[in-house]
Amino acid sequence: MLFYLAIIVVIAGGMVYLGRYVINQPWSARDWIAATAVKDKIYVLGGQDRRRGLLDEVMELNLARHTLRVISHLPSPACCLACVTLDGHIYALGGQGEKGYLDQVVEIDPQTKDVRIIAALPTPRTYGACAATSGKLYYVGGWDGKKRLDEIVEIDPKTGETTIVGHLPSPREFLAAAGQGDRLYVLGGEDEQRSVLDEVLEFQTTSWELVRIGYLPSSLTRTAAAVLDEDLFLLGGWSKELLDEIVKVKMTDQGITSEVVAHLPEPVADRAAVSTLGKLYFIGGIDPGFKRQIAVLEINPQSWESKALRFRGTWFQ
């Protein structure tokens, strides 16, 4: 009798283990997210659910364990945040809240799970881009509810001081940005005439001089950007139609070059991208195979092979 009971327990345990992705899988699909990475973990902030409701969750995706959990909450529900990592802390800037656009600069410590507002942007804004370099945060362009913006805003995360340090050649939103050394790069976007831009702007962060202008293979907006090693990658986006291109942008002393190096499984815009552990991750929406899980596509830049990652909820939050 005990023998048969043991067999039943083993079978039941095996079924629970094999079904853990279904039994313990949270409804994590969402759009208009922000994302960043710290070591082997990806952090997804805010977004919209399937009913267009705004979310305040800070979600951790553990790439080593393939687990997913909510570790904290934003001060208020929001989507379309700009997000970046600096010195192991996560920063979320601006965004669209339930009662309008936001001016908050929010700091999240992924170790302690503490969340606090450390600064305010000059005005509420969204649809801009952010980057971190030389110990500072930068929010570029965006939309304030009435007009597109051309401002480059510097935020000192240690003091909370916020300063407009420069201006773009023209106002623009839905752009991408990246920091490298003492340079800030601004890519693509839409201007005041809704024209989609193909520019790569290089600013010197000590003088805020526009040093160089490079060009993308085509005009591009609503793309996802991630820096891997010394190169910048743009994934998906919009240019008269949805795009499936992965564009590699190289910034060298000889100039700024760009080329299409691979393609995503399908055309898509308004997603997030991060790099960690030598790979690119394209995040957002709903995974078509895992149904209710947020889509996470892992891309190997050596072979350009990609695969969808499945995550399960942790048993204990």
pLDDT confidence of residue 18: 42
Residue 22 has pLDDT above 70, yes or no: no
> CA nearest 217: which of 191, 202, 201, 239?
239
Residue 64 has pLDDT above 70, yes or no: yes
d(CA 175, CA 179): 14
Helix, coil or strand: residue 7: helix
d(CA 62, CA 70): 11
Q: Whole-model pTM above 0.75?
A: yes
Residue 12 neighbours by CB under 8 Å, 6+ apart = none
pLDDT confidence of residue 237: 98
pLDDT digits (tens, 9 = 90+) for 228-287: 998 999 999 999 999 999 999 999 988 999 999 999 999 999 999 999 999 999 999 999
pLDDT confidence of residue 231: 94
pLDDT confidence of residue 230: 87
Average pLDDT of the chain to the nearest whole number: 92
DSSP string, 222-284: S-EEEEETTEEEEEEEESSSEEEEEEEEEEETTEEEEEEEEE-SS---S-EEEEETTEEEEEE
pLDDT confidence of residue 17: 45
Residue 203 has pLDDT above 80, yes or no: yes
> CA nearest 83: which of 99, 95, 65?
95
Write the CATH number of the domain with boundaries 2-310: 2.120.10.80
Residue 158 has pLDDT above 80, yes or no: yes
pLDDT digits (tens, 9 = 90+) for 77-122: 999 999 999 999 999 999 999 999 999 999 999 999 999 999 999 9
Answer for the pair 239, 206: CB distance below 8 angstroms, yes or no.
Answer: no
pLDDT confidence of residue 14: 47
Residue 33 has pLDDT above 50, yes or no: yes
Check residues 12 and 222 and name the one with the higher pLDDT. Answer: 222
